Amino acid sequence: MQALRHFLLAVQFFTRIPITGRLADWVGYSPEMLRASAGHFPGVGWIVGLVAAGTLAAFDWLLPTGNTYAPLGSAIFSTLASVLLTGCFHEDGLTDVVDGLGGSHDRERALDIMKDSRIGAYGAMAMLLAVLSKVALLALLTSHSLGLALAALIGAHVIARLWPMFVVRSLPHVGDTAKSKSKPLAEFITRKGLVSCMLWALPATVLVAWWQGLPALVCALALSAAAALWMRQWFYRRLQGFTGDGLGAIEQVSEIGFYLGVAFSIRLSF
C-alpha cells in the first residue's frame, strides 16, 4: 500500500491526471514521500506511453489506409496526447535548459535565465526540433509497422524516465533550492529507488525485444543512454550539477534517442 501511495504521488506530480478528494487524502504528501516517489518515475512512463500508443493505434485505424500522410497524422495526435497528459512538463524543462545554457556562459546567469518563465529563441528552437523529431520518427516507425511503433512508444516513455534517476544519484541539485519544486524529489534517490525504477523499466525492454528483436533493443538503449549521458556531462561541465528542468530535458532527449535507435535497427536488420 505504501508503494501504491508513492506511485500515485508520482502520477499526481508528473501528469495532469487528477488525484483528488478521498484518494488524495489517502495518498498524502510530505517531502519524504515525494522523494520516495522518484522510484516510480518510469511507472508514470507506462501510463503516458500507453495513452500515446492507444492514441496512435486509434488514429491509425480511423485515418485512410494507404495514405502517405496517415502515419504522420497518427504521430501528431499521439504526441499531442502525451503533451496534454503531462502538461508539457518535460518540454518546458528542455526549453528552460537550452535558453539558460545557450543564453549565457556564466553559471549563475544561466541559472537565472532558466527560472524566467519567458521562452527565448534557443528554447523555442529546441522545442520545435524536439517535437518535429518525435513526430517524424514515430511516423516512420508507424509506416514500417504499427506494432513496432507502439512498442517503441511505450519503451521510450519508460526508459527516458529511467536515465534521469541516475543523474539524480550522481550529481548534486543546484539552483534556487529554496523555491525549487523538484528539490525534495531530486535531492536524493536511494539504491532501493533505483532498483524500483529498473523493475518498472524491465517489461518495457522485453516488449521491444519481443517485437523487433534484441538488436533493436540494444540500439534503442544505446542511443537513449548516450543522449542522457551527453546531457549529464553538459550539466556537470556548465552547472556542476543539475536542476529539475535538466531532468525534463534529459527525458526529452533520451526519448528521441530511443526512437532513433529503433529506427536505425530497421535498417540494420536487412
Is the separation of the CB atoms in 149 and 138 below 8 Å?
yes
Is the separation of the CB atoms in 254 and 221 below 8 Å?
no
Q: How far is CA 105 from CA 58, 61, 127, 146, in A?
A: 46, 49, 21, 44
User: Residue 182 has what pLDDT?
Assistant: 57
User: Residue 270 has what pLDDT?
Assistant: 47
- Separation between Cα atoms, residue 95 and residue 125, nearest integer Å: 8
Contacts of 15-23 with CB under 8 Å at 24 or more apart are 15/44, 15/47, 15/48, 15/85, 15/86, 15/87, 15/89, 16/84, 16/85, 16/86, 16/87, 17/47, 17/85
DSSP 72-95: HHHHHHHHHHHHHHHTTHHHHHHH
For the chain, the structural domain boundaries read 2-265
User: Residue 53 has what pLDDT?
Assistant: 97
3-state secondary structure 204-242: HHHHHHHHHCHHHHHHHHHHHHHHHHHHHHHHHHHHCCE
Q: What cell numbers appear for 196 in the block?
A: 524500483
Tens-digit pLDDT string for the chain (270 aa): 788 888 998 898 899 998 888 888 888 877 778 888 888 999 999 999 999 999 999 999 999 887 889 999 999 999 999 999 999 989 999 999 999 999 889 999 999 999 888 888 999 999 999 999 999 999 999 999 999 999 999 999 999 999 999 999 889 988 665 555 555 666 678 888 899 999 999 999 999 999 888 888 999 999 999 999 999 999 999 999 999 899 999 999 999 999 999 999 988 764
Residue with cell 543523474: 167
| Phi, psi torsion values for 116, nearest 5 degrees | -75, 130
**101 HSE (CA, 13 A, CB side):** 22
- Separation between Cα atoms, residue 215 and residue 129, nearest integer Å: 27
- Separation between Cα atoms, residue 91 and residue 117, nearest integer Å: 13
User: Residue 189 has what pLDDT?
Assistant: 81
- Separation between Cα atoms, residue 41 and residue 221, nearest integer Å: 17
pTM across the whole model: 0.93
Please state at what angle helix 41-62 crosses helix 146-159, rounded to 10 degrees.
160
Pick from 172, 165, 170: nearest CA to 40: 165
